[in-house]
Chain A
Amino acid sequence: MQSDSARTGSPITASSLVGPAAVMTVIGLVLPVLLLLRYSLNLYDPRELMIETVSPANYVKFFTDIYYLDVFFTTVWVAMFCTLVCLIMGFPLAYVLARTQSRFKNVLIILVVMPLFVGNAVRAAGWMTLFGSQGFLSISLMDLGLASGPTELMFTTQAVIIGIIAVNLPFMVLTLQSVIEGIDRAMEEAAFSLGAAPMTMFRRVLWPMALPGIIAGTILTFILGMNAYATPVLLGGPEFKMMAPLVFGQFQLNNWPFGAAVAFILMTTTLSLTALAAFWMQKRVRLG
């Protein structure tokens, strides 16, 4: 490194640029994950709290108990569903944002980002007033004669799904927008002039060229969905369980070994599903 910086005459070396982030990653991510892995193999005892050992008991407990499996699969399908909806809703929006010549483009982008200015918990609290049986939505539907009785959206799966989509959509839109912006408009026109109608153009040119962004946006929203905490807790209520609240619940009960195991399962599932999806999408394009 010494010789490097001497040669370029610059005090900035690659290591000094990457260094701080690397240290943060080790302290903030790698060490805790390793600790978590270690804890997850320990056993819980109501009196001694944690018994040091190496046992798969916590994982066995998780995968043999129908309650935990239910939480697990609910989390996976809610995250997948929300991601899919974000992609379907986000792509057209991102396309318009990327291609617009309007001088209000920046305003439009700020409007998309706006929801992120409000914290998840604050926003969920807002949704609560909207979704409750005495909430705005319910009253409006009744007043308009569209519903005969009060509509209870609060503490339902639908409420959680709507909430998560609202939180995640901006991430999807922004990721897609930047990628679509990088695709020369002439590519689309070339496809048109060669005889491709708009849907064919989309399938054969725009989609595969935007794929890196689609994968990035999908991964981002999927991870956010899998790990959603505030939205399921506040909008789903006590009956609705997803993985992140479950982890926290176990820690609150001082059952660190089981909480760690659940956290580890959540993380591993997220990572492997993400990798699988990315691999599959890329492969499909190469074949198509």
Chain B
Amino acid sequence: MARLELENLTKRYGDFLATREVTLDVEEGEFLVMLGPSGCGKTTTLRMIAGFVEPSSGTVRLGARDITRLPPWRRNTGLVFQSYALFPHMTVNQNVAFALEMRRTPAAEIGTRVAEALRLVRLGHLGDRLPRQLSGGQQQRVALARALVFHPDILLLDEPLSNLDAKLREEVRVEIRNLQRELGITTVMVTHDQEEALTIADRLVVMNEGRVRQIGTQRDLYERPADRFVAGFVGRGSFLEGTSDGQGRFRTNGGIEIACAAVEAGPAVLGLRPERVGLAPNGADNSFEAVVEFVSYLGGLVDLHCRLTDSDRVIAQMVNTGGGDLPRVGDRIRIGWPAAAAFVFSGEKAK
């Protein structure tokens, strides 16, 4: 177990920058999730930690060691692959024992540690099977046991759940999380699945186009997104294009004036989470007449897709109490939100 520090990690392929000056710390025992669309650089970053990709510049420090130029087999990182990558010609026991054999652990100790690792993932009884005789979920757990048995300094998970079906995914997710807590092992996971990331992480890193866009807790990302990309990538929201006057007024391209936080004057984007936009009047700072264009029934909640002007659309949400009629498509309603509810991004952050 160790602390991981990435400093200005850049990977260049010709003219293409897979990662740009990625800097982040993972505390001892922390579960960090790297989240972003495909091609954002999260996998490249993980592979630089594991040692399969050599950074063009920057450093990777694990514990007290600078491992930037160390080959993967000298790094002591436990890696779980998306495809599990279990050795098909070895039994479960042999797979799990592999790393211990590489470390010249005495045979007697290998036996006990393999058994212990398999018990940890509740597969103690399947040691003599071949990987192909196991279900996807079981293979996943073998891969986890194999990556943990040699007490790595850090556990790296590369989209470990994406090959499982939805129900199993939830189970394994909880299992991984509990195991990680129990062992207190520093963990970095890569995923493009937002829900997965939000439920499992201590902290998240949102990446796009090779850059770290924001590092923070779930709440930081959802309620205080650093820029338009993060706001749009984590959680749902509506975005209005327009200009900021620099003094807390935002004017949409459709001509509406909205009270909001003050940002630098110029072209800007205003974002709203659906649950912060309700049926007015609620003494709101902003209250507008809108036409319901689409009603999305979610059970306990109802989403109302509203048109403010021809170019300004907002999703409002109301709690379904069961009483009374729900708004219908074409209805004119009043919606509103407090000035503090909206995020406004201008300049670079609006992109």
Contacts and interface: CB of A to CB of B under 8 A. Distances in A.
Interface in B27-65: 50-52
Contact of A193 (B79, B89, B103): B79
A192 B79 CA distance: 10
A83 B223 CA distance: 67
A285 B102 CA distance: 18
A190 B87 contact: yes
Given A184-B83, A200-B102, A192 B88 contact: no
A206 to B, nearest CB: 10
Given A184-B83, A184-B85, A189 B52 contact: yes
A194 interface: yes
B189 to A, nearest CB: 15
Contacts of A189: 50, 52, 72, 79, 81, 85
Contacts of A208: 89
A200 B101 CA distance: 11
A195 interface: yes
Interface in B89-113: 89, 98-99, 102-103
Contacts of B51: 192-193
A199 to B, nearest CB: 11
Given A193-B72, A204-B98, A285 B89 contact: yes
Contact of A186 (B74, B81, B89, B150): B81
Given A186-B81, A189-B52, A189-B81, A195 B103 contact: yes
A182 B69 CA distance: 30
Interface of B, secondary structure class, is loop
Nearest to A288: B89
Contacts of B98: 191, 194, 196, 204
Nearest to A194: B99
A197 interface: yes
Contacts of A191: 87, 98
A205 interface: yes
Contacts of A186: 81-83, 85
B72 to A, nearest CB: 4
Nearest to A285: B89
Given A184-B83, A190-B87, A195 B50 contact: no
Interface string A2-16: 000000000000000
Nearest to A286: B89
A194 B146 contact: yes
B336 interface: no
A102 to B, nearest CB: 14
B77 interface: yes
A200 B87 CA distance: 14
A189 B46 CA distance: 13
A199 B77 CA distance: 19
Contacts of B150: 194-195
Interface string A261-288: 0000000000000000000000001000
A187 interface: yes
Interface in A195-236: 195-197, 200-201, 204-205, 208-209
A186 B102 CA distance: 18
B73 interface: yes
Interface in A152-167: none
Contacts of A197: 71, 73
Nearest to A187: B85
B75 A193 contact: yes
B300 to A, nearest CB: 42
A187 B74 CA distance: 17
Nearest to A188: B85
A243 to B, nearest CB: 36
A204 B77 CA distance: 20
Interface of B: 50-52, 71-79, 81-83, 85-89, 98-99, 102-103, 146-147, 150
What 4 A-B pairs come out closest when comparing CB atoms? A195-B102, A194-B99, A186-B85, A190-B85
Given A194-B102, A209-B89, 17 more contacts: A186-B81, A186-B83, A187-B85, A190-B79, A190-B85, A190-B86, A190-B146, A192-B51, A192-B52, A193-B72, A193-B78, A194-B99, A195-B74, A195-B76, A195-B102, A195-B103, A200-B102
